[in-house]
Amino acid sequence: MKKLGLIGGMSWESTVSYYQAINRGINTQLGGLHSAKLLLSSVDFAEIAHLQHQDEWPALANVLSKEAINLQTAGADAILICTNTMHKVADEVEASITIPLIHIADATGQLLKQQGVKTIGLLGTRFTMEQAFYKSRLKEKFDIDVVVPNASQRDLVHKIIYEQLCKGVICNASREAYIEIIDMLAEKGAEGVILGCTEIALLIQQAHTSVRLYDTTAIHAQTAIEFALSN
């Protein structure tokens, strides 16, 4: 089994989901008492969030690159950045190491393409919904068009992530607001909606809506499991 290096803590609430999903997935495949071989480097999210909102992306690239190098040195065979937003600096992180970086948008795009999806809705932080690094990758690599909420809805989605979900706060009113936005994306032509922030699945699950949801935490974890068990 290959060893996975996780850069987590962004936020730790969703890193718990990664740890659980990967270990459960490995056990499902191998049975018995098997669990995943993992290395976890968990950052202080307050420092990361401050730099995000100050638009200090080169500094963030440097922080995550150092974490990736440390994980590689410790014996990781591949790196996962356990957050969608920080894939804005994935290219810089990937360039700093010699082992694979398992990209969350690629894992998601591959699944969407397999299912024949052409237009997808996207929820996430403002950075992920508004900037090109995620949407363009889906379009250029997988020919998938992305639709996002309007400006006021993007602000609300972003606020709920940082002020509630990253703190482990689950609010029914926030869930209802998200469901309303998901329905609107479907009305705009989305064949499904990417839960493009690793915390969103803490609030919204498939049982809450008839619109097809794509949980990036689960998808990323499954791709990592497949890598860990590959020859």
Helices (H) and strands (E) in the chain, counts: 10, 7
Cβ atoms of residues 222 and 20 within 8 Å:
no
Which residues does 74 contact at the CB level (< 8 Å), separation at least 6? Answer: 5, 39
Tokens at 25, concatenated: 């997935």
Report how far apart the first and last C-alpha atoms of the chain are (Å, whole number): 9
- The pLDDT profile of the chain, 231 residues, written as one tens digit per residue, is 999 999 999 999 999 999 999 999 999 999 999 999 999 999 999 999 999 999 999 999 999 999 999 999 999 999 999 999 999 999 999 999 999 999 999 999 999 999 999 999 999 999 999 999 999 999 999 999 999 999 999 999 999 999 999 999 999 999 999 999 999 999 999 999 999 999 999 999 999 999 999 999 999 999 999 999 998
Distance (Å, rounded) from C-alpha 37 to C-alpha 40? 10
Domains of the chain: 4-103+219-228 (3.40.50.1860), 105-216 (3.40.50.1860)
For the whole model, what pTM was predicted? Answer: 0.95
Which of 94, 71, 92 has its CA nearest to residue 5?
71
| Beta pairing partners, 194 | 122, 214
Q: Could you give the residue numbers annotated as active site? A: 83, 197
